[in-house]
Amino acid sequence: MGKRIGVEVSIAAAEAAALADVDVIAAYPITPQTHIVEHLSELVADGHLDAEFIPVESEHSAMSCCIGSSAAGARTFTATSSQGYALMSEICYIASSMRLPIVMTVANRALSAPISIWNDHADMMMSRDTGWIQTVAENGQEVVDLIFHAFKVGEDHRVLLPVQVNLDGFILSHMIEPIHMPDKAEVDAYLPPYKPAMRLDPAHPVSMGPVGMPDIYTEAKMAQDQALRNSKAVIVEAWKEFGDKFGRYYKPVETYKTEDAETIIVSMGSISETAMTAADALRAKGKKVGVARIRLWRPFPEAELFEPVKGAKNLVVLDRAMNFSGGDTGILGGEVKSVLFDQNHHPSLRNFFVGLGGRDITVQNFEEMVEKASANGGKPVPYEIINVRD
């Protein structure tokens, strides 16, 4: 029946990958992801996990090994952060184009320069258009559950795409949290063994990764785009099955007190917990505030996001990453605006950049942002960086 334990989230993530019985792990150390792969190599060293652990010489090679391994038909896992992600990004695009169901956890961290080991979502934002399915965890339990879900969805023959599970560096990765770890039999009942749809096998020779001339490149991209679009139904279905088996139900967008909210905070990741605390504090002062948290980042859940926010007068959209658009909106801000445009809906919207490179965000900050959004009156205002010293 599994058990509930107090455990560092990184350790739990590694245990989850081990419970998924991964065959190959290829990874390179980078803070704050390191504990995940350290623990996996420990599990292999102690014989708790029968897998090949490839201690590669770079993240670029980590993802390249993962492609080789997944193409050979093995269940494959890796983890990275920030600069490591940036280095491997060339190969991440190829993993999704080749339709290989690799699972990667990214302990989100700011991008250099200045070099910073602390949290923000710059790496996640950089990875958003790679064609990977992307989920974002709010707490340790979700990290574990999303890892099982990632294998389940990615390996589904209706999908066959790599999946990136994002968790906030330090804020989540290094926290000790109470987490329910299922036992092997429970995981096996949810996650069938990986059956590759195609593999590098001398008995059935295939050529993977051929040259795409102009007369086929567009079709190749179309097919890939369809795969990502179609994955959404499977993602939701796999969450439903997960809920039925484990009692924890997930959906693409999570909501908190949005039904009657005048102002809704749109957020991703662990910051949403602070946002919910702030919503309660503001509600105590008579302000109707709610939170919509995006769990499924790619494919982007447009309808699921519009549904809870459509009644709100004001929207506070949080981008936890610097995005030098030079225009009015950051990345999430832009995505939300495009959803509203499609629905011909015009609330008062403010886009804030928060928590850059490990900067704290307080409940007071939320009060300030909610205030600004309410006072905006629907005019377009450029994004604003919160908590910046003058």
Partner 1 sequence: MAKETGIMSWKELELGNSITRPGNAGELKTGDWRSMRPVTDYEKCTKCGQCYIFCPDMVYKKNAEGYYEQNYYYCKGCGICAHECPVSCIAMVQEGD
Partner 2 sequence: MGIAAEAIKDFKGFNLKNMPEVEPLSSGHRACQGCGEILALRQAMKALGTNVVVCSATGCMEIVTSPFPQTAWNVPWIHVAFENTSAVVSGVEAAYKAMNRKGKINQPDVTFLAYGGDGSTADIGIQALSGALERGHNFIYICLDNEAYMNTGIQRSSSTPWGASTTTSPAGKYSKGQSTWKKNMPAIAVAHEIPYVATASPAYPVDLMNKVKKASMIPGPAYLHFYSPCPTGWRCGGDESVAVARLAVQSKVFPLYEVIDGQYVLSRKVAKPKPISEYFKMQRRFRHLTETDVQMIQERIDAEYAELLKKCGVEA
The interface partner of residue 99, options being partner 2, partner 1, none and the CB cut-off 5 to 8 Å by kind, is: partner 1
Q: Which of 12, 37, 79, 98 binds partner 2 (CB under 8 A)?
A: 98
Is residue 155 near partner 2 by the rule CB under 8 A? no
CB nearer to partner 2: give 60 or 257.
Answer: 60
The interface partner of residue 54, options being partner 2, partner 1, none and the CB cut-off 5 to 8 Å by kind, is: partner 2
> CB 153 → partner 1: shortest distance, Å?
16
Map tokens 């979502």 to a residue.
121
* Contact residues for 131 (Cβ-Cβ < 8 A; gap 6+): 93, 96, 97, 161, 224, 228
Distance between CA atoms of residues 353 and 32, nearest Å: 22
Q: Which of 5, 198, 228, 236 binds partner 1 (CB under 8 A)?
A: 198
Strand partners, 40: none
Q: What are phi and psi of 27, to 5 degrees?
A: -155, 160
What Å distances lie between residue 354 and 18, 59, 101, 143, 194, CA to CA? Answer: 34, 28, 32, 22, 40
Q: Which of 213, 247, 326, 377 binds partner 2 (CB under 8 A)?
A: 213
Report whether 137 contacts 269 (CB < 8 A): yes
CB nearer to partner 1: give 189 or 197.
Answer: 197
> CB 154 → partner 1: shortest distance, Å?
13
Query: Closest Cα partner for 366 from 381, 388, 386, 346?
Result: 386
Report whether 314 contacts 263 (CB < 8 A): yes
Is residue 206 near partner 2 by the rule CB under 8 A? yes
- Residue span binding partner 1 (CB under 8 A) among the ranges 124-132, 166-174, 209-217, 228-236: 209-217
Query: Closest Cα partner for 78 from 133, 136, 117, 23?
Result: 23
Q: Which of 115, 176, 220, 233 binds partner 1 (CB under 8 A)?
A: 220
In the chain, the N- to C-terminal Cα span, in Å, equals 54
CB nearer to partner 2: give 93 or 306.
Answer: 93
> CB 59 → partner 2: shortest distance, Å?
10
Q: Which of 47, 205, 286, 326 binds partner 1 (CB under 8 A)?
A: 205
- The residue count for binding partner 1 (CB under 8 A) is 23
The interface partner of residue 130, options being partner 2, partner 1, none and the CB cut-off 5 to 8 Å by kind, is: none
Is residue 344 near partner 1 by the rule CB under 8 A? no
Structure tokens at 231: 């994955």
Query: Closest Cα partner for 314 from 276, 381, 366, 262?
Result: 262
Is residue 214 near partner 1 by the rule CB under 8 A? no
Task: Give me the helix-helix angle, 140-155 and 214-246, nearest 10°.
Answer: 130
Q: What would the DSSP string read from start to end of 161-180? A: --EEEEEETTTTTT-EEEEE
Is residue 47 near partner 2 by the rule CB under 8 A? no
Is residue 69 near partner 2 by the rule CB under 8 A? yes
CB nearer to partner 1: give 74 or 98.
Answer: 98
Map tokens 């990875």 to a residue.
127
Distance between CA atoms of residues 154 and 133, nearest Å: 8
The interface partner of residue 200, options being partner 2, partner 1, none and the CB cut-off 5 to 8 Å by kind, is: partner 2
Q: With 0-12 CB in 10 A as exposed, 13-18 as middle and 19+ as buried, what is 244?
A: exposed
The interface partner of residue 226, options being partner 1, partner 2, none and the CB cut-off 5 to 8 Å by kind, is: partner 1
Reduce the DSSP state of residue 333 to 3 states and report it: helix
The interface partner of residue 39, options being partner 2, partner 1, none and the CB cut-off 5 to 8 Å by kind, is: none
Is residue 54 near partner 2 by the rule CB under 8 A? yes
Map tokens 């981008």 to a residue.
319
Residues at the interface with partner 2 (CB under 8 A):
23-24, 26, 50-52, 54-58, 60-62, 64-74, 76, 90-91, 94, 98, 193, 200-213, 216
Residues at the interface with partner 1 (CB under 8 A):
97-100, 160, 197-198, 205-210, 212-213, 215-216, 218-220, 222-223, 226
